[in-house]
């Protein structure tokens, strides 16, 4: 006897036996697990947690650019603070003096600048420029090298700076330069900030003037996007005569006729002097006496042959 409603169920049971239905269920569960496993293996960059706050950045993002012909940049490490962004620019090192050639630069905001007593939290202390602080920095970066601070006033396009020079291992030239760039706060610009630069370079084939050129000609390659931030101040005004009539500008200073040096006369080589040979002086012959000398016996002359 057929009961109403039992026909479709009986046909479905006949079409899918129990074993086949179990296999289909297992395959479906396995496919779901595989899809879920593939989704868990995909990681995002934000999931990676490093043990340091310093990150390596591309050399094109260096906050300082050296003049052409300088030591090549081999790596840049950057760290962000609540009041500053600091970079350590590693340069090629060819000498034997312990340590590496590098430039340490930091851009500071004017807000929450820590004092010299110390800092707490994620704040960077503004490096000091007094003699004691600089001596500690040089001893740390140039251990065992006798550095002599220069007493000469020097200045680059960002203002005055100081440097010390010494001889490292094997007599190679070593330079340590430091500079703090700060335009000073005012009523109209109370948050101008500051820039700290430390430069340590040793080169066995360079002179003091060649190393000092790096401190003169480096350029700031970045800035902070903050209102009023500008430690270097405004760019100087152009020369008053620029673009005006009656003020010619030459690529090189023109030498006048009085300043023209006279042609040098080529000195002819002198002939080599012959060595003087002194003739040996012959002893003077004394005259033969014509009579016998007193006190001496008379010697008869030899006989003459016929």
Least confident range from 65-79, 133-147, 160-174, 221-235: namely: 221-235
Between the alpha carbon of residue 239 and those of residues 157, 173, 233, 292, 303, the distances in Å are: 16, 38, 18, 114, 121
Least confident range from 74-83, 157-166, 238-247, 287-296: namely: 287-296
pLDDT value at residue 118:
46
Alpha-carbon span 291 to 183, nearest angstrom: 119
Mean per-residue pLDDT of the chain? 78
Between the alpha carbon of residue 293 and those of residues 130, 289, 298, 301, the distances in Å are: 106, 8, 8, 15
- Number of other CB atoms surrounding residue 97 within 10 Å: 23
Over 70: is that where the pLDDT of 284 sits?
no
The SS3 call for residue 197 is strand
Task: Give pLDDT tens digits for 68-98.
Answer: 988 899 999 999 988 899 999 999 988 889 9
Q: What is the tally of helices (H) and strands (E) in the chain?
A: 4, 11
pLDDT value at residue 288:
65
User: What is the chain's percent helix, strand, coil content, to nearest 5?
Assistant: 20, 20, 60
User: Would you kindly state where each structural domain of the chain is located, as residue ranges?
Assistant: 55-220
Q: How many residues does the chain have?
A: 306
Looking up tokens 């033969």 gives 288
Higher pLDDT, 294 or 205: 205
Over 80: is that where the pLDDT of 245 sits?
yes
Asked whether the beta carbons of 111 and 95 are under 8 A apart, the reply is no
For the residues 30-45, what does the mean pLDDT come to?
Answer: 64
Contacts of 194 (CB under 8 A, 6+ apart): 108, 110, 113, 126, 180, 181, 182, 231
Looking from the CA of 223 toward its CB, the CA atoms found within 13 Å total 10
Least confident range from 136-145, 147-156, 273-282: namely: 273-282
pLDDT value at residue 95:
83
Over 90: is that where the pLDDT of 138 sits?
yes
- pTM greater than 0.95 (yes/no): no
Over 70: is that where the pLDDT of 121 sits?
no
């Amino acid at each position: 006897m057929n009961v109403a409603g039992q026909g479709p169920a009986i046909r479905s049971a006949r079409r899918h036996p129990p074993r086949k239905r179990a296999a289909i269920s297992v395959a479906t569960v396995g496919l779901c697990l595989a899809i879920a496993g593939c989704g868990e293996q995909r990681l995002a960059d934000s999931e990676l947690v490093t043990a340091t706050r310093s990150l390596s950045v591309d050399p094109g993002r260096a906050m300082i650019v050296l003049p052409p012909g300088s030591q090549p940049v081999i790596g840049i490490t950057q760290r962000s603070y609540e009041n500053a962004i600091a970079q350590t620019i590693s340069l090629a090192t060819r000498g034997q003096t312990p340590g590496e050639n590098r430039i340490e630069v930091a851009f500071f905001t004017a807000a929450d600048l820590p004092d010299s007593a110390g800092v707490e939290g994620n704040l960077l202390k503004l490096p000091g420029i007094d003699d004691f602080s600089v001596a500690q920095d040089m001893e740390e970066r140039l251990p065992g090298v006798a550095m002599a601070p220069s007493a000469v006033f020097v200045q680059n396009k960002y203002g005055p700076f100081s440097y010390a020079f010494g001889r490292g291992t094997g007599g190679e030239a070593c330079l340590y330069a430091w500079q703090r760039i700060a335009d000073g706060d005012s009523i109209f610009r109370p948050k101008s900030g500051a820039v700290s630069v430390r430069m340590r370079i040793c080169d066995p084939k360079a002179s003091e003037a060649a190393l000092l050129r790096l401190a003169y000609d480096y350029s700031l390659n970045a800035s902070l996007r903050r209102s009023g931030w500008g430690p270097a101040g405004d760019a100087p005004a152009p020369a008053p005569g620029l673009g005006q009539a009656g003020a010619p500008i030459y690529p090189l200073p023109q030498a006048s006729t009085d300043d023209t040096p006279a042609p040098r006369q080529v000195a002819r080589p002198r002939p080599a002097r012959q060595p003087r040979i002194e003739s040996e002086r012959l002893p003077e012959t004394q005259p033969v006496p014509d009579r016998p000398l007193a006190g001496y016996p008379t010697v008869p002359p030899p006989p003459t042959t016929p």
